[in-house]
Structure 1
Amino acid sequence: MAALWISHINVTNPDQFAKYVELAGPAIRKHGGEFLARGARFVQLEGNKRERNVVVRFESIEAAEACYNSPEYQEAVSHARGASERDLMVIEVTEP
């Protein structure tokens, strides 16, 4: 079953975070991720607002987890740590 990787981000160090962005895209695509939204316009209706939101579709939760745990993505995310405040989750898509 397909899954969505959803992250909500506040960037605290744009220069350092830029390296994450540079490396994360190729790492995510290498593992089958398809970007559905990446920093696009949004409206916050409830909850805590984050300035940047990303949604990526994977073939399964397991594929998303494998991407997250991959050496390529871990290299990328090492640049986000200390350069951003992030919440990241993966949720299965329930399709009728």
Structure 2
Amino acid sequence: MSELFSLVAELRRPRLLIRAARAGLQEYNRNRDLKRLTRLADAPSPDRALRLLIEEEARIEATRKAGEAGYSLSRHIELLIAMMGELRLLPRPNGA
């Protein structure tokens, strides 16, 4: 699980995206939001959810960097919010 913390810690995204995600974190509702973001019937465990969210966020980040018209700023922020919310649910690795 510490690899998930490392993956998220190594992300480098524009400051405005991160600030927007932090601002929206208070409104995060995992039962409502995860079902929509992961397109699953039930919310998965936090570690499984985080893995799925990291994969999807990487895809949308590539779309953003390529300047493609299909990029959705709101979806990107929603994914970052969910990643932050799920990360908070994971047990901290030793030394963190």
Please, what TM-score do these two structures have when normalized by structure 1?
A: 0.30
Structure number with the higher helix fraction is 2
Structure number with the higher strand fraction is 1
Instruction: With a CA cutoff of 8 Å and minimum separation of 6, indicate the structure with the bigger relative contact order.
Output: 1
Please, what TM-score do these two structures have when normalized by structure 2?
A: 0.30
